[in-house]
Amino acid sequence: MKNDFRLQYPLWMMGFIVVLGMFAYGISSPVTEIVNTDTEQSIMIELEPVAGFIVVGTVVLYVAMLATFIFQLLRHNRKNPTQKVSPFSIRPLEYLEQDEGMTYITRKASQKVYTFMSWSLPLLAVFAMVTPLPRLFIVWGILLVALIQYVIYYVEIRKHFKEEVE
């Protein structure tokens, strides 16, 4: 159970969010030049060497992680034909609901996440409105909230699986 894909799913999401945050940094720092005259119309986007490296590196990393993620998901479905998960499901994949005990801990973890989201999102919205922050920081703020929600969920679920004794 400890190696159940659904238990590891929040870790995957945290990883994807971190890579996305790095990617956001890479694409938010290009030099953009727009030429719009009678004789010439052009848009030039030039990535700085470091930013370019980050963009390419994070895309490669993201694709590699995605391939591994899909492999793990397919392996889980092969090993657990009665508890298959679909990447296209609207319901979060990390939900454990195979019996009432699992549903109980999922509900407890979800309640903690909901509590966090109920104040963090409005706070972030107010923060974004009243502070003249660059767009990158707003994006990072949203990603940070998303990251923390997975941390809360993962820590709560792991707590229940910590002392497993037969």
Nearer to another protein, 75 or 159 (CB): 159
**What is the enclosing helix (H) or strand (E) of 164?**
none
164 binds another protein (CB under 8 A): yes
Asked if residue 162 binds another protein (CB under 8 A), the reply is: no
Assess contact for 143 and 20: CB atoms under 8 A.
yes
Taking CB under 8 A as the rule, which mask of x and - marks residues 101-130 in contact with another protein?
xx-xx-------------------------
Indicate the SS3 state at residue 85: coil
Q: Which stretch binds another protein (CB under 8 A): 63-71, 93-101, 131-139, 142-150?
A: 93-101
Residue nearer to another protein on the CB measure, 40 or 166: 166
Give dist(CA 111, CA 157) in Å, integer: 12
Task: Classify the C-alpha dihedral 86-87-91-97 as positive or negative.
Answer: positive
Determine which residue in the list 49, 78, 99, 119 makes contact with another protein, applying CB under 8 A.
99
Q: Residue 35 to residues 27, 31, 41, 42: CA-CA distances in angstroms?
A: 20, 13, 5, 5
Tell me the site size for another protein, rule CB under 8 A. 14
Rounded least distance, CB 105 to another protein, Å: 7
Site for another protein in 6-35 (CB under 8 A): none
Q: Does 82 bind another protein (CB under 8 A)?
A: no
Least distance between another protein and beta carbon 1 (Å): 6
Per residue, the 3-state secondary structure of 14-60, as one string, reads HHHHHHHHHHHHHHCCCEEEEEECCCCEEEEEECCHHHHHHHHHHHH
Q: Which residues bind another protein (CB under 8 A)?
A: 1, 98-102, 104-105, 160-161, 163-166
